[in-house]
Structure 1
Amino acid sequence: MVDPVAADTTTDQRAPDVLAATPPMGWNSWDCYGGSVREHEVIANAEYLRDHLLPYGWDHVVVDIQWYEPTADAGGYHAGAVLDLDEHGRPRPSPNRFPSAAGGAGFAPLGARIHAMGLRFGLHVLRGIPRQAVALRLPILGTQWTAADVADHERVCPWNPDNLGLNHDHPGAQAYYDSLLARFAEWGVDYVKADDMLVPYHAAEIEAFARAIESCGRPMTLSLSPGTDLSVEHVDHLAAHSRLWRISDDLWDRWPDVRAQFDRAARWAPHAGPGRWPDADMLPLGRIGIRAHGGDDRASRLTRDEQRTLLTLWAMARSPLMFGGDLPSADEWTLGLLTNDAVLRITRDSVGNRRLRRDGDLDVWTASSADGRRRYVAQFNLGDEAVASEVTAAEFGVDADDPATDLWSGAEPTRFGASRTTPLPAHGCVLLAIETAR
């Protein structure tokens, strides 16, 4: 849907010298393919992104976890699986799943193909060093040390068996990350989703990863995961060493998962800005669960009202937007959600984003366009019954005669009024843009 109030794009906050100047937007393989995505599926989603969503700002293609495991499937993680590693203990894509990686090419061919579409290429990586590299005592590139010298057998991921931790008191730990990110740079990686970083908070790990990116010779956006109930006290450290960080565990197509994000987003939204984005997680919309870890092949179980609510909250909080469904299977409804430029404009160009008030199950958020000529008002009903929500012009600093546009319906603007009462369905919302001379 073309934004009826956003024809002028001169106010977009896209500082060219800031990496991730606006919240990253794109596709990630996790929600539909779990750890088992294959090259042809990545390409199909990238081509759909190019053909249908790139003009709206969706430009990242991210291959999620286990791309180095030949036997990865929908059954979860496999302890003891033989991984594809190079001679220095660095993971490389399994050729049985990524044929263009054969002969040691790695992800360079796939990265080049994605770049040729005008898109950015992203990879998932797990904190630490592969157990297999440690057991084989593989040498760390450019050093006299082996993987066994730098492994930490205590600080390991509690949910994935592939890696041991790294002992960052040993200089070989930094050398390993330096070699890993240098290889990612050779492959043309633009975006790195580093997992098992935040709960507990691995400060030394985050700093080592940031240093490795700094020295790799290629700009890369660093995304940190997962962050269930991540404390805001870490915000300065996070902003200094990464560009986005998760504020929750994995979010799935369940209303309780979406509802739980409201308080988290309210805590973190005031800290968002160019190059520093609290991340409310991926969008489990469209067709998901094709080979995901748990669940089944399905259309998102969120109702249409819940889907609009999810996207409205993500926009008002300026969360990154990573679509998790299979794009070639997307229906017209889902495509309409992803191409509503009036809503996406809030993600890329708004300031002062915050929760204004919470009254029981009614949540009210506000933001402004960067030039101050537009106010955004979002009213959410988190309850299980339909209710009416009242707001006033005074609380948003607008005039009663200012025109307001419903950004989801696309209806003609109406006078905002001194007060405005809107019926909201269960788990539903309304999102308004108010043009103001103030």
Structure 2
Amino acid sequence: MTVDPDAPTPRRERRTARLAATPPMGWNSWDCFGTTVTEDEVLANATVLRDRLLPAGWDTVVVDIAWYDPTARAHGYNDGAPLVLDDHGRQLPAPNRFPSAAGGAGFAPLADAVHGMGLRFGVHLMRGIPRLAVERDLPILGTTWSARDVAAPDDACAWNPDNVGVDHDHPGAQAWYDALIGQLAGWGVDFLKVDDMLAPYHDRDVEAVARAITRSGREIVLSLSPGTHLSTTHLGHLREHAQMWRISDDLWDRWEDVHAQLARLARWAPYQRPGGWADADMLPLGRIGVRAERGEPRDSRLTPDEQRTLLTLWVMGRSPLMVGGHLPETHDATLDLLANPALATVLARSTENREIVREPVDDGELVVWTAAAGDGDTRWVAVFWTGPTERRLTVPLASVVGAVAARGPWSATDLWSDGEPERLVGALDVVVASHGVRWFALDPA
């Protein structure tokens, strides 16, 4: 008898039923504020998310990196920053940026405010233990060990100076993560993005964080970053321990970044399943760069067609959706794109998502994706065109719905317009803008 190492275990199936049964959708502070977001800015974005996007499925608010640095600045990290730590070395929100955290309250008041809006609350952590905790040799909660006992200074992150690694051969390493994650759970955190986990792949940290979440007693979605060169060889391990994992480095508002995800999502799409999602990274849409790591304040440089391509590709590939723009200063046209109900519908209902065509056509590529509705006859099809000018393209219906069903007729509803459904027989004949997409729901006529 052959045992599939990736087959769901009962424990994993129970977790899947609770956590990320569909790809998470929400807002993250990174693209607009980098390391510098404040409590007022988090609440302002949460308010717009609630008022404009929650009905369309967007329900998570994430405070990204360095919320514990009172000296955080745009365009980089601070070496030797005076991080705010408790007596056991655990990060606390900087009160000058998060006033409600004063007096040791941590993120509990902010989480309560976000929950009061009907939203979920998330935070970012770096792998390991703060350098400052090691320098001060602070005690690890509930143990006789200290930060120096468990630190692995030679296993530090190459691009962020805040933390060093932990020595997993020392029992205090797990105790450290248990205390750290336990505090987040006590604050009411629902979503945890942990960085410096996948490039290179730190399997023991992945396991330790997942174990700490289980021990915390709170249901917390675990997202792992960054995914530079992440291989599907880690798939079984990822599914066992996390609900999201990045498959690329940071994605910004450049067409080449979006274009590169066509191939990545095509590779990962067959493996997407409830409770375990390959993540094509954040959506750099709306007002970004306000105080970001990269670039000056700006509206996204992606054209409207490129923005629709990005959203359609992420949804057809069933990637989580985390928008990075400052929502109060984001144009209504962008908010309207994000509020398209088709995004959440296809994320939740689609199956058999895959790329079926990729072929060069003169100065570009024709790329076609399809998906089926798991609970009906609907088929979804996305026709992407990567060339520099508008192009008329024809896709035989047989390649989308099968030879027998293609005898039709079919009704095609354009998911990016308000037009009436069109009757199709034989083929889908469309004009696609440069770097654009045409996205349809096909139903038997």
- Which band: TM-score by shorter chain? over 0.9
Larger mean Cα displacement after TM superposition, 17-26 or 61-70:
17-26
Residue aligning to 2:375: 371
Structure 1 residue 173, shift from structure 2 partner: 0.5
Residue aligning to 1:7: none
SS for the counterpart of 1:411 is coil
Residues 16, 206 of structure 1: CA spacing in aligned structure 2 closer, same or farther, 3 A cutoff? closer
Inter-partner Cα distance in structure 1 for 2:410 and 2:400 = 11
Inter-partner Cα distance in structure 2 for 1:343 and 1:140 = 44
SS for the counterpart of 1:378 is strand
Residue aligning to 2:255: 255
Residue aligning to 1:246: 246
Residue aligning to 1:423: 431
Contact 1:404 1:434 in 2 (8 A): yes
Structure 1 residue 410, shift from structure 2 partner: 2.3
Residue aligning to 2:389: 385
Q: Which amino acid aligns with 2:377?
A: R
Is 2:40 the counterpart of 1:73? Answer: no
Larger mean Cα displacement after TM superposition, 387-396 or 268-277:
387-396
Residue aligning to 1:47: 47
Residue aligning to 2:268: 268
1:11-50 alignment, distance < 5 Å: 17-50=17-50
Structure 1 residue 16, shift from structure 2 partner: 8.5
SS for the counterpart of 1:325 is coil
Inter-partner Cα distance in structure 1 for 2:28 and 2:372 = 29
Contact 1:88 1:140 in 2 (8 A): yes
Task: Provide, for residues 101-146 of structure 1, a one-character-per-residue CA deviation record: whole Å limited to 9, x for no partner.
Answer: 0001000100111111110000000001000000110000011110
1:272-351 alignment, distance < 5 Å: 272-351=272-351
Is 2:212 the counterpart of 1:206? Answer: no
Larger mean Cα displacement after TM superposition, 136-145 or 397-406:
397-406
Larger mean Cα displacement after TM superposition, 397-406 or 100-109:
397-406
Structure 2, unmatched stretches of 5+, are: 1-14
SS for the counterpart of 2:124 is strand
Residues 235, 287 of structure 1: CA spacing in aligned structure 2 closer, same or farther, 3 A cutoff? same
Residue aligning to 1:436: 444
Task: Provide, for residues 164-213 of structure 1, a one-character-per-residue CA deviation record: whole Å limited to 9, x for no partner.
Answer: 11111111000000000100011000000000100101011100000000
Structure 1 residue 51, shift from structure 2 partner: 1.1
Inter-partner Cα distance in structure 1 for 2:383 and 2:208 = 42
Contact 2:17 2:275 in 1 (8 A): no
Residue aligning to 1:63: 63
Inter-partner Cα distance in structure 2 for 1:257 and 1:195 = 20
Residue aligning to 2:411: 403
Residues 256, 126 of structure 1: CA spacing in aligned structure 2 closer, same or farther, 3 A cutoff? same
Inter-partner Cα distance in structure 1 for 2:18 and 2:75 = 40
SS for the counterpart of 1:17 is helix
Is 2:156 the counterpart of 1:161? Answer: no
Structure 1 residue 415, shift from structure 2 partner: 1.3
User: Hey, which bits of structure 1, 4+ residues long, moved more than 6 A?
Assistant: none
Structure 1 residue 424, shift from structure 2 partner: 1.3
Contact 2:150 2:170 in 1 (8 A): yes
1:362 to 366, 380, 395: 366
Inter-partner Cα distance in structure 1 for 2:225 and 2:81 = 23
Residue aligning to 2:10: none
Q: Which amino acid aligns with 1:392?
A: P
Aligned residues: 423
Inter-partner Cα distance in structure 2 for 1:383 and 1:320 = 27
Inter-partner Cα distance in structure 2 for 1:288 and 1:387 = 30
Q: Which amino acid aligns with 2:203?
A: A
Contact 1:25 1:59 in 2 (8 A): yes
Structure 1 residue 420, shift from structure 2 partner: 2.2
SS for the counterpart of 1:362 is strand
Contact 1:375 1:436 in 2 (8 A): no
Contact 1:134 1:151 in 2 (8 A): yes
Contact 1:229 1:264 in 2 (8 A): no
Structure 1 residue 44, shift from structure 2 partner: 0.5
SS for the counterpart of 1:154 is helix
Residue aligning to 1:217: 217
Q: Which amino acid aligns with 2:125?
A: V
Residue aligning to 2:236: 236
Structure 1 residue 294, shift from structure 2 partner: 2.0
Residue aligning to 1:394: 398
How much identity, in percent, do the aligned residues show? 58
Contact 1:80 1:162 in 2 (8 A): yes
Residue aligning to 2:422: 414
Residue aligning to 1:140: 140
Structure 1, unmatched stretches of 5+, are: 1-14
Structure 1 residue 229, shift from structure 2 partner: 2.1
Contact 1:343 1:407 in 2 (8 A): no
SS for the counterpart of 2:389 is coil
Task: Provide, for residues 355-386 of structure 1, a one-character-per-residue CA deviation record: whole Å limited to 9, x for no partner.
Answer: 01201211110001111310001010112232
Contact 1:155 1:164 in 2 (8 A): yes
Inter-partner Cα distance in structure 2 for 1:130 and 1:34 = 19
Residue aligning to 1:187: 187
Instruction: Give RMSD over aligned pairs.
Output: 1.2
